[in-house]
Structure formats: structure tokens, C-alpha cells
Amino acid sequence: MTSTLTSEVTGARKPRRERLWTWLLVPGTLWMSIFFVSALVLLVALSFGTTDELGNPQFGSTLDNISAIFSGPYLRVILRSFLYATLASLICLLLAYPVAYVIARYGGRYKNALIALLVVPFFANYLVRMYGWQTILSDEGWLLTWLRDLGVPASFQILDTAGAVIGGLVYGYVVFMVLPLYASLERMDVSLIEAGRDLYGSALQTFLHVTVPATRAGAYAGLALVFLPAMGDFISAQLLGGPDNLMIGNLIQDKFFAGQNWPLGAALTMVLMFLLLLCMSGYLRQTARDAKEARR
């Protein structure tokens, strides 16, 4: 669609006002090239680098870092992170959909207040909230003490399990799922649902064939918004996970700090980004296809 527009207008001298708008792009582009693109270029360049005796990174042209990733235990951890992030995204979707649905459809004049209430806890730093969970879930914390009083066996623990890590991810990122879902449910034309019911669709059928397709874009956006940060997260695994729950973010952090191996950390980051890019391109293709179908 844009290409047809382009061909219509190119060649014609543009009015002064439009050129002004074009110049407004300059600060943003400069900002992005300095702080985003250059950081990215640094990262890619460093992943072929080495370190000096103090562990300071140096540029180089070695492939050792990349090959180390494929020989070490890293791929297994990437796979595990992928699994945790996928599960966390799906759980977020299941949790967030009813919440967004109820607020969007039945929130009435409290809609905005309800959404604000959902967002407020996220003003507190993620790390601080995770420390809070650590205290609540610990073996002699109040939750487990209370559960044991109810007859839960003493060997039962929550902290340092895969469930705690995935739960931490869900807790940390669920708001990113609620907001796009809410936006798409809010935008949806309610008369579509009424039409579905008028055509003798049951409540469930109407939901599946009308509401879900109409909000699919919001769900995809939410899945992407939760999945991406969850995949790179290290705080949840660090504070709520055990030795079998390490995520790739933990290893990258290790390499940048205690491991004094920024080049290996950079290489890991690059491989991770490449994989995420593959996932994202799938997401973009899917949303583009949906958009096309919606226009037809």
C-alpha cells in the first residue's frame, strides 16, 4: 500500500511544510544511531573480540566466542529460557484476557481507574518486588508456615523451583499483556457481538468466532511484549530459581561480571538476538497476513 503511495507522489516537489516534518525526524534518528545502533554495532564487534590481562574487552577477529557457545552448555540453557518464556507468555495470556475483557466491557466509567490500578504496582522496581516474593515464598516464610499448618507436607517448597521462576516472569510482565489486550477489546465494535448473537451464535461461539479474531492482534502484541523481556530476564531465575532453573540471562550476566569475558557475553547476546529476530519475523509475517485478511 505504501509503495503505491510512494510512486504516486515521488518526483513532485514537496511543499515546504512537509519538508519541515521530515527534518523533525533528525533528532530521533541521531538519538537512535548514537545510543542504539552504535551500541548494537559495538556488541556485534565485541563478540569477535578478546580481553586483556585485567579482563578489559578488546576488539579482535576471533571466532572462539561464537564456537564456544555451540560447544558449551549454553544451547541447553537457551532452550530452557525459550520454554520458560513461552510458558510465561501463554499463562499471561490466559490470566490477562479475562481481566482485560471485564474491564473493557463492564468497566463503565471506572475503566481508566481500573487500568491505572493494574499499573500502579509496577511503579515499584521489579527487583524490589522480586525480593519481596523471595521473602514470602521462603521455606520458613509466612506462606509456607501457614500452608504447613493446613497439612501440606514439610518437604513442599516453592522457592528454587521452575514454577517459581515462571511465576516470577508472569508476575513481572503480565501488565504488558493486559494493556494491548485491553486496547483491542476496547476498540472492538460491541455491535459485532450483538450481530453474532442475533445470528443464533451461542455465547461461546460468538466469543470464539467474533471476539477472539477481533482481538487477535492485541494478543500477538501482548505475547511479543511478554516473551521478549521474559526471554532475557535473569532476576526471576536468580532470586526464585534453583540450580536447574538458570536462564540465558544469568549466564550472560555471569560472563559480563564475574566471568570477565565481555566478548563471550556479547556473542551470547548476539546469538540470542538472532534467535529472537527469527521469532519476531514470524510474528511480523503473521500480523501482516492478519492485516491483509482484515482488509479483504
Partner 1 sequence: MTAPLPASLGGDFSRRGFLLAGVAAAVAGVSGCAYGGDATPKADSTPVVPKIDGDLVYFNWAEYVHPKVFRGFEEEYGVKIIESNYDSMEGMQAKLAAGNRYDIIFPSALWVKKLADANQLHTIDPTTVQNAPAIFDHYDYFADPWYDPKSSHSIPFTMYKTGIAWRKDKLGDELTGSWEDLWNEDSRGKTFLLDDRDEVLGMASLMLGLPLNTAAEGDLDAIVEKLTTLRPYLRGFSSDDYNNLLAGDAWMHQTWSGDMAALLWQAKDPSIYGFQTPSEGAPVNSDAYAIPANAEHPGTALLFIDYMLRPENVKKNLNWIGYPMPVHGTEDAYETLVADYPECRVSIEDLEADLYFDGGSIDDLHARDAAYTEIKVG
Provide the 3-class DSSP secondary structure of residue 252.
helix
CB of 27 to partner 1, least distance (A): 12
Binding mask 73-112 for partner 1 (x = CB under 8 A): xx-xx-----------------------------------
Q: Which of 87, 138, 201, 229 binds partner 1 (CB under 8 A)?
A: 138
Binding mask 148-177 for partner 1 (x = CB under 8 A): -------x-x-xx-----------------
Q: Under the criterion CB under 8 A, does residue 67 sit at the interface with partner 1?
A: no
Beta bridge mates, 50: 58
Q: How far apart, in whole angstroms, are the C-alpha atoms of residue 109 and residue 117?
A: 14
Stretch that binds partner 1, among 9-17, 122-130, 202-210, 284-292 (CB under 8 A): 9-17
Which sign, positive or negative, has the C-alpha torsion 80, 261, 173, 207? negative
**Is 249 within 8 Å of 237 (Cβ atoms)?**
yes
Which sign, positive or negative, has the C-alpha torsion 53, 54, 55, 60? negative
Q: Which of 72, 98, 121, 132 binds partner 1 (CB under 8 A)?
A: 72
Amino acid (one-letter) located at 275: L
CB of 6 to partner 1, least distance (A): 5
Stretch that binds partner 1, among 6-14, 119-127, 195-203, 269-277 (CB under 8 A): 6-14
- The three grid cell numbers given for residue 274, joined into one nine-digit string: 538472532
Q: Under the criterion CB under 8 A, does residue 242 sit at the interface with partner 1?
A: yes
**Is 168 within 8 Å of 236 (Cβ atoms)?**
yes
Binding mask 253-272 for partner 1 (x = CB under 8 A): -xx-xxxxx--x--------
Q: Which of 103, 251, 270, 271 binds partner 1 (CB under 8 A)?
A: 251
Torsion of CA 135, 141, 144, 150, to 10 degrees: -140
- State the DSSP string of 188-239: S-HHHHHHHHHTT--HHHHIIIIIHHHTHHHHHHHHHHHHHHHHH--HHHHH
State the residues that interact with partner 1 by CB under 8 A. 2, 5-6, 8-10, 13-14, 18-19, 21-22, 25, 29-30, 32-34, 37-38, 41-42, 45-46, 49, 51-59, 68, 72-74, 76-77, 134-135, 138-141, 155, 157, 159-160, 241-244, 246, 251, 254-255, 257-261, 264
